[in-house]
Amino acid sequence: MVKLDRYIGKQVFLAILSVLGIIVALALLFAFIDELGDVDEKYGLADAAWYVFLTAPRRTYEMLPMAALIGCLIGLGSLASNSELTIMRAAGVSIRRIVWAVMKPMLVLMFAGILIGEYLAPWSENMAQADRSMAQGAGDAQSSKRGLWHRQGEEYVHINAVQPNGLLYGITRYQFDKERHLVSSSFSRKAQFQGDHWSLEGVTTTHFKERSTEVTKAPTERWDVELNPQLLSTVVLEPGALSITGLWQYAGYLADQGLNNSQYWLAFWTKVLQPIVTAALVLMAISFIFGPLRSVTLGQRVFTGVLVGFVFQIAQDLLGPSSLVFGFSPLLAVLVPAGICAIAGVWLLRRAG
């Protein structure tokens, strides 16, 4: 039985890895084509390719549930096409045993996915954003397409690029008075964190007076702000690219500031429950092999897997924003599609058994 479990698990595992490689490669190709629109004399083809390469861990993490669904259909489908599953069933191997044999390699993939999503993807995504901003001239002027905005009191700040080692590039600050009148604006080429404050370099400040303006320049300037490198590395990324711990911490930070954190809770539950979602999709794929897709061609199985995967993704994409608009728990937005898949899979397996 151990050899049989290994054989089934190997077939499914290799099929999932193959599908994952193809899907990620296509996603990277389309991302590179899309990135070509930003190529200019500063941001070259090599910079675009490097940026797309650094986003590969995030895309791998995002594509894992879809790859698990299609790969399971292909792996088990090939066994069904060769009548191997029929022989196993005739020899007394239960469907439950086959399901467990398939789930064993899935546990490995789920664990690897958690590691990628928690450690590798946030780091590489941060590097990708920072390197792209630097290649596009982050320290020259305020970027209209990249960077992040932050408000503290009456000061509004735009930062072009955030490096993971506590370096900022292209810092533009706008200071307003209580009547919302612009008092001053400044641009700094670079800022470095000094433990309890930031040290700005190459500062040019414009002071707006009642009937005139005054421009001053300073080689360095102290900047006291609540932002620290850890918080900035969280703010600069989209919620879906953050780690679970980063989402938890930043959602708490927004709650303390009295700001809306619903989209971060949605991303948090999506990442936390991804192993359960993946298991539900795999369970439904197994039920298809023993039920509706038992005697169809490989192409039909792939088409069914892609179709079901897209329907599942659309359902999540609709329920997620709906939870933000209508105010119901983001946890339900993630659990409902997965629960439907799991229930459908169990029902089909019981009918097949």
- Reported as a pLDDT band with limits 50, 70 and 90, residue 352 is low
Task: Kindly state the average pLDDT of the residues 56-68.
Answer: 91
Cβ(114)–Cβ(275) below 8 Å: yes
Taking only the tens place, the pLDDT of each residue in 162-199 is: 876 778 888 888 988 888 888 888 888 888 888 788 88
Q: Check pLDDT > 90 for residue 55.
A: yes
Task: Kindly state the average pLDDT of the residues 334-345.
Answer: 85
- How high is the pLDDT of residue 19? 92
Task: Specify the higher pLDDT residue, 208 or 328.
Answer: 208
Share of the chain above pLDDT 90, in %: 12
Q: Check pLDDT > 60 for residue 139.
A: no
Task: Kindly state the average pLDDT of the residues 32-44.
Answer: 85
Under 8 Å CB-to-CB from 329, ≥6 apart: which residues? 323
- Reported as a pLDDT band with limits 50, 70 and 90, residue 18 is very high
Local structure of residue 239 (DSSP, 8 states): G
Where is average pLDDT lowest: 37-46, 140-149, 193-202, 272-281? 140-149
Residue 12: alpha-carbon gap to chain centroid: 25
Q: Check pLDDT > 90 for residue 129.
A: no
Task: Specify the higher pLDDT residue, 168 or 146.
Answer: 168
Torsion angle, CA of 312/110/264/139, rounded to 10 degrees?
-110
Task: Kindly state the average pLDDT of the residues 84-97.
Answer: 80
The pairs formed by 326-330 with CB atoms below 8 angstroms and a separation of 24 or more are 330/262, 330/265, 330/266, 330/268, 330/269, 330/270
Taking only the tens place, the pLDDT of each residue in 99-118 is: 888 888 888 888 999 999 88
Task: Specify the higher pLDDT residue, 128 or 295.
Answer: 128
- How high is the pLDDT of residue 14? 92
- How high is the pLDDT of residue 142? 62
Task: Specify the higher pLDDT residue, 130 or 207.
Answer: 207
Taking only the tens place, the pLDDT of each residue in 229-285 is: 777 777 777 888 888 888 888 888 777 767 778 888 888 988 988 988 888 888 888
- Average pLDDT across the chain, whole number: 83
- How high is the pLDDT of residue 246? 84
Taking only the tens place, the pLDDT of each residue in 212-228 is: 888 888 888 888 877 77
Task: Kindly state the average pLDDT of the residues 39-54.
Answer: 87
Task: Kindly state the average pLDDT of the residues 16-45.
Answer: 90
Cβ(301)–Cβ(81) below 8 Å: no
- How high is the pLDDT of residue 144? 53
- How high is the pLDDT of residue 141? 61
Interior/surface letters 303-341, b for 16+ CB within 10 angstroms, e for the rest: ebbeebbeebeebbeebbeebeeeeeebbebbbebbeeb
The Cα–Cα gap between 277 and 347 comes to 17
Cβ(157)–Cβ(135) below 8 Å: no
- Reported as a pLDDT band with limits 50, 70 and 90, residue 143 is low
